Amino acid sequence: MNQRFARASSTAGAAVAVATLVGCQAAPGNGPSAGQEVPLPSASVSKSAAPTSFVDGTYMGDASTNPRGIVQVEIVVANQRISDIHIVQCPSDAQRSEQICTKDVPVLVSRSLAAQSANIDAVSGATFTSNSYKQSLQSAIDQAAQSG
């Protein structure tokens, strides 16, 4: 009997909360108008901003170890921008690790080149490798930024 009451109370409470939220509106002039998108705060942790330019050259990132293995990258900087990222080491001892290195790491490379930064989103399902990639990339970026 008590379980039924608790379940009913919980359901009723949830319904009231939803009804309250559905009925919420900003006062006129205080917020977005109907149909306007509202930007959500970023869930990612922001790192230091990427430098506006790098010193041309080739820079080897530190090797970063994770439970799947070692990840290490090398960046090529041309015209003061990261022009290429080479994967020097990537775990390949297990089938899943090999899949991550052939399928998911190229996504990380693409994101990094677009952002000119290691401050990118990880690939879902490849968290260990993504984090190691970003650490190695950041160390190479730090070298390219300090070379000047």
Fold that domain 57-146 belongs to in CATH: Sufe protein. Chain: A (3.90.1010)
Strand partners, 3: none
* Predicted TM-score (pTM) above 0.75: no
Residue with tokens 């968290």: 127
Amino acid residing at 121: D
What is the tens place of the pLDDT at every residue in 64-122? 999 999 999 999 999 999 999 999 999 988 899 999 999 999 999 999 999 999 999 99
Beta strands in 9-80 (DSSP E): 57-60, 64-66, 69-78
- What is the pLDDT averaged over residues 114-139? 97
- What is the pLDDT averaged over residues 17-26? 38
What is the tens place of the pLDDT at every residue in 26-71? 444 444 444 444 343 333 333 445 556 899 999 999 999 999 999 9
Would you state the structure tokens that stand for residue 8, as one six-digit string? 């009913």
Residue with the larger pLDDT of the pair 8 and 139: 139
Residue 2 pLDDT greater than 50, yes or no: no
Tally of CB atoms within 10 A around 136? 26
Distance CA 14, CA 3 (A): 16
